Structure 1
Amino acid sequence: MTVTAIVLAAGQGSRFRAEAGADQDKLLAACTGLDGVTRAVIEQVLVNLPATLAERWVVTSPERLEVVRLAQAHGCKVLLLESAGMGDSIAAAVAASASADGWLVVLGDMPFIRSATIERLLADPGGITVPVHAGQYGHPVAFGRVCGPALMALTGDRGAKPLFAQAQVRSVQVDDPGVLWDVDVPQRLSFSVER
Structure 2
Amino acid sequence: MHSSNDNSDPVVVVLAAGQGQRFRASGAQTGKLQAQLHGRSVLEHTLAAVAASGLGAVLVENSPLWRSEGMGHSIARGVALSPDASGWLILPGDLPAISPQSLRAVAQALQALGGVVRPQIQGQWGHPVGFSAAWKDQLQQLTGDSGAQSVVRAAQTQNQLQAVVLQDWGALADTDTLADLARVAERWDQRPTAR
How would you bin the TM-score normalised by the shorter chain?
0.7 to 0.9
Asked if the contact 1:2/1:101 (under 8 Å) is kept, the reply is yes
What's 2:109 paired with? 124
Shift of 1:158: 1.8
Are residues 1:15 and 2:7 paired? Answer: no
The gaps in structure 1 that reach 5 residues or longer are 33-37, 64-79
What's 1:45 paired with? 46
CA deviation map 1:12-67 (0-9, x unaligned): 1111111234x5111111113xxxxx31000000011144313x11111127xxxx
CA deviation map 1:138-191 (0-9, x unaligned): 111111111111101111112112212222111011111111111011122232
Equivalent residue for 1:177, pick from 142, 166, 169: 169
Match of 1:7, SS state, is strand
Distance 2:54 2:44 in 1: 18
Asked if the contact 1:27/1:109 (under 8 Å) is kept, the reply is yes
What's 1:142 paired with? 130
What's 2:121 paired with? 133
Which structure: greater strand fraction? 1
What's 2:4 paired with? none
Distance 2:83 2:138 in 1: 12
Distance 2:96 2:9 in 1: 23
Equivalent residue for 2:180, pick from 159, 174, 188: 188
Distance 2:26 2:135 in 1: 37
What's 1:24 paired with? 30
Q: Normalised by the size of structure 2, how large is the TM-score? A: 0.82
Equivalent residue for 2:83, pick from 98, 103, 106: 98
Shift of 1:83: 2.1
Q: Quick one: structure 1 residues 177 and 51, their matched pair in 2 at CA, closer, same or farther if it must change by over 3 Å?
A: closer
Asked if the contact 1:61/1:84 (under 8 Å) is kept, the reply is no
The gaps in structure 2 that reach 5 residues or longer are 1-7, 191-195
What's 1:85 paired with? 70
Asked if the contact 2:95/2:173 (under 8 Å) is kept, the reply is yes
Q: Quick one: structure 1 residues 82 and 90, their matched pair in 2 at CA, closer, same or farther if it must change by over 3 Å?
A: same
Shift of 1:89: 0.5
What's 1:3 paired with? 10
Distance 1:101 1:57 in 2: 14
Match of 2:75, SS state, is helix
